[in-house]
A = this chain, B = another copy of it.
Amino acid sequence: MRQAAVANEITELVRTAGLRPTRQRLSLAGLLFSGGGRHITAEQLHAESLGEGFSVSLATVYNTLHQFTTAGLLRELVVDSGRSYFDTNVSRHHHLFFEDSGELRDVSDNSVVIGDLPALPEGASISRIDIIIRVKNGGSSG
């Protein structure tokens, strides 16, 4: 009954995003949203899915990640040119990026104060502020 309840929540999540609850989307959503917050790349998620026995094509992983992002379930992070990370935590927060391992860790929004910014051009507006604290030489423990 526990497992069924979780499955229903996931199904509901996908439905609410306006997407059909296909086997692939449910598997991926399960991997993404069943634990705590995650920061993951498309290739990582693909490998993890296959590892768990959920066969999905890489194209579908990309499609799904983008659909979830558009639906507001994920946020796309730019920390490394040439690789996109997706964050299951869509609330306002920032990141520690461990350059050696590629690991990302959340940083509370409270840790940062943005002072006076330059005036924006007519009609322009801030869509997001990304703060990335790049850390070198640190492992993933601690």
Q: How far is the CA of A83 from the CA of B120 in the complex (A)?
A: 24
Nearest B residue to A105, CB-CB? B118
Number of copies: 2
Interface residues on A, range: 35 or more
112-141 of chain A: CB within 8 A of chain B: 112-141
Q: How far is the CA of A78 from the CA of B78 in the complex (A)?
A: 7
On whether the beta carbons of A127 and B131 are closer than 8 Å, the reply is: no
Q: How far is the CA of A134 from the CA of B124 in the complex (A)?
A: 10
Is A107 in contact with chain B by the CB < 8 A criterion? yes
User: A133 CB to closest chain B CB, in angstroms?
Assistant: 5
On whether the beta carbons of B124 and A136 are closer than 8 Å, the reply is: yes
Which B residues are in CB contact (< 8 Å) with A79? 78
User: A113 CB to closest chain B CB, in angstroms?
Assistant: 4
Which B residues are in CB contact (< 8 Å) with A141? 121
Q: Quick one: given A107-B118, A118-B96, are A133 and B137 in contact (CB under 8 Å)?
A: no
User: A125 CB to closest chain B CB, in angstroms?
Assistant: 6
On whether the beta carbons of A134 and B126 are closer than 8 Å, the reply is: yes
**Which A residues contact B (CB, under 8 angstroms)?**
76, 78-84, 96, 98-99, 105, 107, 110-142
